[in-house]
Structure 1
Amino acid sequence: MKRTVLFDVGRLLDRTARDAPTGVDRVCLAYADWLASRRNVTLVPVLTVRNRLRTIDPGGFGRTIRTLRKRWAGDDSPTRSEHDLVQALGSGGNGVSIIGHEALPQGLAARRAHAVSQALASRPLTPPTPGQTYISVGHTSLNSPATLAGLARNGVSSLIMVHDLIPITHPEYCRPGDDVRHWTRVRTALAHASRIVVNSRYTADQLAAFAVREQLPQPPTQAIPLGLEPAFLPCTTAPADPPYFVHIGTIEARKNLAFLLTLWRRLQEGMGDACPRLVLIGRYGWENEAVLDHLQRSPNLQGLVHQVSGLPDAALVRLMHKARAVVAPSSVEGFDLPAVEAMAMGVPLIASDIPVHRELVAAAQLIDPLDGPGWLAALEAATRKRPIAPPYAAPTWAAHFDAVATFIGLDS
């Protein structure tokens, strides 16, 4: 018998204009594909408007997710940003860095108009009935308890994904007010969700500790690692010369990038012309002023450190395969998808020694995120000779969704 699943698509509609996804965006898209593919599921795409669920046209939403998947995956044709970056990395060093070289996406206005039109064309959801399931994996609909509480009153079960508790545990790395907003979201999930899925044991431990502090019961919770897109597969591509390293992720304070750029200046001072390049791939986030100061004003980093955003997966894969290593010096993470992707591809990974890295990528070279001499030694050694990446059994979306289906009773 088919189960009706109300899938919250609010975050995906909000991301319609983007050329590349964040980690949470990837999860939302993977869940949309999974639910749409299941024969025992009737997928009803919904979004939350003023604490009320509204439904959008399934056909239109299906076209949206197909468009996003194609755009975010990319192809064999390099984008303008990738082409310019590869040229800069292969040059002998002209003292000019690529910083934020990303034109506005083509057709941006049309993309935004399409997303708005889908939202405006939404209509009130027919009152849900017992036996239906509501799924939200993008932290949407959690800013108020009204939505989940109303679903529970109507006998609708719910599955909520909590990606991390970083705004609560480390508010110094987040936008002012994010701690209060996320506190509300997590309390809402604990108080009203039927089940909660998290991406790591570390996040599960943080959630359990929060529930104790807030004196809230915790619904059944399961830690299920996220899967990877098919593009991130092992390859024996030789590293590029001149050598370079790659960091992937939003440029924000918790990524510890000001520390990384300080290291790069020290590398340049010690290695001179032999100093490797560094590529920061990601959008600008919160508290990035120190990083921008390094990028724009440090004479030692000009021509050595580059920053781009909006690259599709195909471009990421090409750049990662030829890097000496992927670097992930974060102070805190809930999962760290790029680190897992690097290990799955057989690209050496140098990462911070934090709980989630010890859990998910323990075989990588892990260094305390404040150990400057340790990081310098590792980077210089990897520049002179690329490390051998250890064997790694990568988590898969198939295994993730098998576990989720069992958890919520969709496996029959």
Structure 2
Amino acid sequence: MSRILLDVTRLMTRLYDGLLPTGVDRVGIAYIERYGANADAVLSERGFSTVLSRKSSQKAFEMIISGTRKRFAIRKLVAHACINRIRPENKGKGVLLHTSHNGMEFQRYYNAMKIRGMLTVFMVHDLIPLTHAEFCRPGVEAAHRNRIHTALANADGLIANSQDTLDVLAAEAAQAGLPLPANVVARLAPAITARTRHPAPIAQTYFVLLGTIEPRKNHWLLLQVWRRLVERHGPSAPKLVVIGRRGWECENAVDMLERSRPLQNSVIELADCSDEDLRTWMQHAHALLFPSFVEGYGMPLVEALALGVPVIASDLSVFREIAGEIPDYVDPLNGPGWLANVEAYASPDSDQRAAQLARIERFRAPTWAEHFAALDGFLASLV
């Protein structure tokens, strides 16, 4: 491949705003680490795009990877990019790799890349706003459908993070009467794989619930389960550690967190957690709890199993694709089932937990080497 462009708009914006990387951001960072030495960065706004010089690209990549928030340096870099936009760009056939959903909906973006001689390859993380619009903000369904349909009609290639995502994407293409571009399934590697040397953060038995607090993640049901645990077991009930920021329309869960007296000494809420602290909390947990109604991938599940931590998860097809029969699965509406599983796992001599620990020995986490091997072969086939 003679030339690679990496769209870093989302990554630079979030760095400027001082936000910690999400799962989508970590994918973009992995692509920079893989291709950045010989790639140029792209910044875009509403479909208008500019390619940074090689020197500016390397500065952008360095800032993103280091996570160093230099707002003045970012503003300076963007200003140079805007000035360079009026200058002729170096041409050369190649591929644009775009790992977030931002900007997929603008026809002019694809047109500009075609003029530059670039093939456009986008990653599709999920179609949740189309399949489960009730879990998204008003207007997101139409916006995401526009993104997906524009990509189906114009992209040269699509990367799916799972076979489940690709199957949903193919169904949407068929329903809309749109072609399904060339595609590849390339699963995502966990960002957290190595244990820390730190001891357990608390002495009591605890479980971890990881993810933004929002209706789709089903926090409210699990908090109700925890209230029942406290009613049954009192001070000896296990702790629940809720790691993640408060999202949208999560008032019911927030009411439980802030106003339910039985939960005040039994639930620990951590809005911001560094990678090292997250590893420490995760590795000492009795289990990761993952009661979501729908997921595009489910990185916490992969990260927990990679650390050797048991998982009790919703019975979702994407989870079974990634982890097979290793976790214990419970329907996300089955409150008594979640209660029974947590009680079983909390026992010091839990046979159920011991059985999963034995199954975890078979788990093999996806790697970035495998991801990029699949992607490189796919890119070669496009060219």
TM above 0.5, yes or no, is yes
Pairwise CA distance, 1:322: 0.8
SS in 2 for 1:351: strand
Question: Counterparts of 2:185 and 2:10 in 1: how far apart (Å)?
Answer: 22
- 2:179: which partner in 1? 217
Amino acid at match of 1:259: L
Q: CA deviation at 1:232?
A: 1.4
Match of 2:212 among 231, 235, 250: 250
Which structure has the highest helix share of the two? 2
Relative to 1, partners in 2 of residues 1:236 and 1:47: Cα closer, same or farther, differing over 3 Å? closer
| 1:43 and 2:39 are equivalent in the alignment | yes
Q: 2:79 aligns with which of 107, 110, 120?
A: 120
Larger RCO, structures 1/2 (Cα 8 Å, 6+ apart): 1
d(CA) in 1 for partners of 2:36, 2:13: 19
1:236 Cα offset (Å): 10
**Any stretches of 5+ residues in structure 1 without a counterpart?**
72-106
What is the rounded CA distance, in whole Å, between the counterparts of 1:264 and 1:190 in structure 2? 44
Asked whether 1:405 is paired with 2:376, we answer yes
1:376 paired residue number: 339
**2: CA distance between counterparts of 1:236 and 1:137?**
33
Gaps of 5+ in 2: none
Amino acid at match of 2:145: W
Q: Is the 8 A contact 2:215 2:250 kept in 1?
A: yes
2:223 paired with 1:270: no
Aligned counterpart, 1:347: 309
CA contact (8 A) 2:46 2:106 kept: no
Structure 1 stretch 382-391 or stretch 330-339: which is displaced more? 382-391
TM-score, length-scaled by structure 1 = 0.83
Q: Say if 2:256 is the partner of 1:294.
A: yes
Matched letter for residue 45 of structure 2:
V
> Counterparts of 1:303 and 1:70 in 2: how far apart (Å)?
37
- Tell me the amino acid that sits aligned with residue 281 of structure 2: L
Q: Name the Cα RMSD after superposition.
A: 2.4
Q: Hey, what's the Cα distance between the residues in 2 that align with 1:321 and 1:113?
A: 38
| Identity across the alignment (%) | 36
State the Cα distance separating 1:67 from its structure 2 match. Answer: 4.6
In the alignment, residue 345 of structure 2 is paired with which amino acid?
A: A
Structural mapping, 1:317-336, within 5 Å: 317-336=279-298
Query: Which residue does the alignment assign to 2:194?
Result: 233
Q: Is the Cα contact below 8 Å between 1:405 and 1:411 reproduced in 2?
A: no
- The one-letter code of the counterpart of 1:233 is A
- Which residue is 2:52 aligned to? 56
Distance 2:329 2:52 in 1: 46
**More displaced stretch, 51-60 vs 158-167:** 51-60
Q: Equivalent residue for 1:367? A: 330
State the distance in 2 between where 1:112 and 1:261 align: 39
Which amino acid is the alignment partner of residue 250 of structure 2? N
Alpha carbons 1:280, 1:306 under 8 Å: kept: yes
- Alpha-carbon distance between aligned partners in 2 of 1:394 and 1:411, rounded to the nearest angstrom: 28
Aligned residue for 1:32? 32
- Secondary structure of residue in 2 paired with 1:119: helix
Contact 2:14-2:20 at 8 Å conserved across structures: no
Judging changes above 3 Å, is the alpha-carbon distance between structure 1 residues 138 and 237 closer, same or farther for their aligned structure 2 residues?
same
TM-score by length of 2: 0.89
